[in-house]
Amino acid sequence: MNTYKNAINMDIVRYSTKEQIAVITINRPEKRNALNQEVVQKLKEAFRMAASDQQVKVIILKGAGSTFCSGADLKYIQDLQNYSHEENVKDSSELMELFKQIYTTPKPVIAEVHGAALAGGCGLVSVCDFAFCTTESRFGYTEVRIGFIPAIVMVFLIRKIGEAKAKRFLLSGEIFDCETAKKAGLIYDYFEEDDDLEGFVMDFGRNLCQQNSSTAMAMTKDLLIRIQDQPMDQALQTAMVYNAEARKTNDCKKGIGAFLNKEKPVW
């Protein structure tokens, strides 16, 4: 089991750092790490901390216990029945802000998935840059099964896996396994054991930290987001500007200098 420094216990969401990696853990194992207003707020706070910490280059999102995240909390769903339209809009905006915050944070975000990732939990996986799971993991955008819609995650899922695959999962509400998730592009790989998953994710995060410039990763992630909805000529103009800006960064100068000297840059 890994030990972490700079640990901050926020009760239902834990935050800790180790080796330039921030680990954010949903900590409601007795509720299968279900989402409610407080969890969403604490996750937003934790991601703000990770984004602002200059020592952090990579973020890992996971769940405590045997489940990654089972979606919305039952009591929370019951309470929604009594919300006014204005209250529903405000509550919906909080989840929208969390998903957008994770998707646009300048640092790579890795989802470490064990057990179920359903509804809003599957939404969290969708907005991460990388996702890995165990063979026992199960996924599903199950909102339509209770008369609800996977509205917010839809915007991100189409970008991640394309419209045809997104339609299959969002309209059917099916619960699918790790192999199906990998073929669809939702996750990158899966492992037999939790320990293998945890070890691989940490190694994967370390490699990103050690091999890559944080500035370059941030600019690359931002450019990927920007150009997707732009016409080709506009996207090329945007890319050209980013190309020119990247050349002026200290990291680029450092990296090119090391390359010319046949050295490995230390990031």
Active site residue 94: no
Beta bridge partners of 15: 8, 24
Sign of torsion over alpha carbons 88, 90, 93, 94:
negative
Using 70 as the pLDDT threshold, list the residues of the chain that sit under it: 1-10
22-66: pLDDT as tens digits: 999 999 999 999 999 999 999 999 999 999 999 999 999 999 999
**CB neighbour class for 35 (10 Å; exposed up to 12, middle 13-18, buried from 19):** buried
Residues pairing with 112 in the sheet: 132
- Does domain 5-210 bear CATH number 3.90.226.10? yes
Q: Would you state the structure tokens that stand for residue 54, as one six-digit string?
A: 């200059």
Which residue is associated with the tokens 């089972």? 70
Query: Residue 44's closest CA among 100, 115, 108, 2?
Result: 100
3-state DSSP percent of the chain in helix, strand and coil, to 5: 55, 20, 25
Catalytic pick among 143, 163, 193, 198? 143
* Length of the chain (residues): 267
Predicted local confidence at residue 2, as pLDDT: 44
The residue ranges of every structural domain in the chain are 5-210, 213-260
**pTM (2 decimals)?**
0.93
Tokens 């989402």 found at: 35
